[in-house]
């Protein structure tokens, strides 16, 4: 199975559910696509840690799904070379295991953000790597996965000098309110963008003054 293919249908969800059940039952084999599985583990961790609501998330945890997805993509694509990379990573070692790279990349991000759930992620990693033969391929893939994870987390991190802007659309007739306000949480507009050079790059100019 090509693990860069994203499965969003019933089969993908069923496989992810099987993986969660496997963790609970102590299974030693991986019954799911690696990428789909770890994205489901990510959503489960986010729900368990943040209560599953947007207002309870922090600047760090709100980016976890994007960080894991980016790490998974760069880890697998850096080995399979099927798509244009988003991050600039050194070439993956020849023969590196894409399965190992993907699993370790996701595990590294999740363990860094949710250290209290380290054992759960470790158990998931053991199951993920059970189908990867031991040897240099697994080792090289694992190291490349760690590299992809570190790059993904750095790319998505909240700048230390970021200004947190509260949502305060208080105004009066004739006074334009800039749309660059967070929808829910104050750190939303301070997070770095993925595809735009700056957050207001495509924002339209305000209307003319009414005075």
Per residue of the chain (211 residues), give pLDDT as tens. 333 333 333 343 444 444 444 444 444 433 348 888 898 888 888 877 755 555 456 666 777 888 899 999 999 999 988 888 988 899 999 999 999 999 999 999 999 989 988 988 998 899 889 888 999 999 999 999 999 999 999 887 766 566 666 666 667 777 776 665 555 565 566 666 666 777 667 777 777 767 6
- Residue ranges of alpha helices (H) inside 114-186 are 118-129, 136-156
The pLDDT of residue 65: 87
DSSP at 165: -
pLDDT at residue 35 in the model = 87
Side-chain-side CA neighbours of residue 75 (13 Å): 37
Are 3 and 35 spatial neighbours (Cβ–Cβ below 8 Å)? yes
Around Cβ 136, how many Cβ atoms within 10 Å? Answer: 13
Cβ-contact 96, 79 below 8 angstroms: yes
- In the three-class reduction of DSSP (H, G, I as helix; E, B as strand; rest coil), residue 116 is classed as helix
Nearest C-alpha neighbor of 94 from the set 85, 81, 103? 81
Query: Distance (Å, rounded) from C-alpha 74 to C-alpha 58?
Result: 25
As a whole number of angstroms, the distance between CA 98 and CA 102 comes to 6
């Amino acid at each position: 199975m090509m693990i860069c293919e994203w499965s969003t249908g019933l089969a993908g969800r069923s496989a992810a559910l099987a993986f969660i059940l496997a963790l609970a039952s102590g299974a030693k084999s991986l019954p799911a696509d690696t990428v789909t599985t770890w994205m489901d583990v990510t959503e489960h961790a986010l729900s368990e840690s943040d209560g599953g609501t947007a207002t309870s998330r922090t600047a760090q945890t709100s980016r976890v799904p994007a960080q894991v997805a980016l790490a998974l993509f760069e880890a697998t694509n850096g080995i399979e070379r099927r798509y244009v990379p988003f991050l600039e990573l050194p070439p993956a070692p020849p023969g590196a295991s894409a399965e190992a790279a993907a699993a370790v990349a996701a595990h590294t991000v999740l363990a860094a953000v949710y250290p209290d759930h380290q054992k759960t992620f470790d158990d998931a990693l053991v199951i993920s790597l059970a189908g990867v033969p031991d040897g240099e391929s697994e080792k090289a893939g694992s190291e490349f996965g760690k590299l992809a994870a570190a790059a993904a987390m750095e790319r998505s991190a909240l700048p230390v000098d970021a200004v947190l802007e509260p949502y305060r659309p208080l105004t009066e007739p004739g006074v334009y309110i800039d749309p660059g306000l967070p929808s829910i949480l104050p750190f939303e507009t301070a997070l770095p963008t993925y595809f735009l050079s700056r957050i207001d790059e495509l924002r339209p100019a305000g209307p003319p003054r009414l005075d």
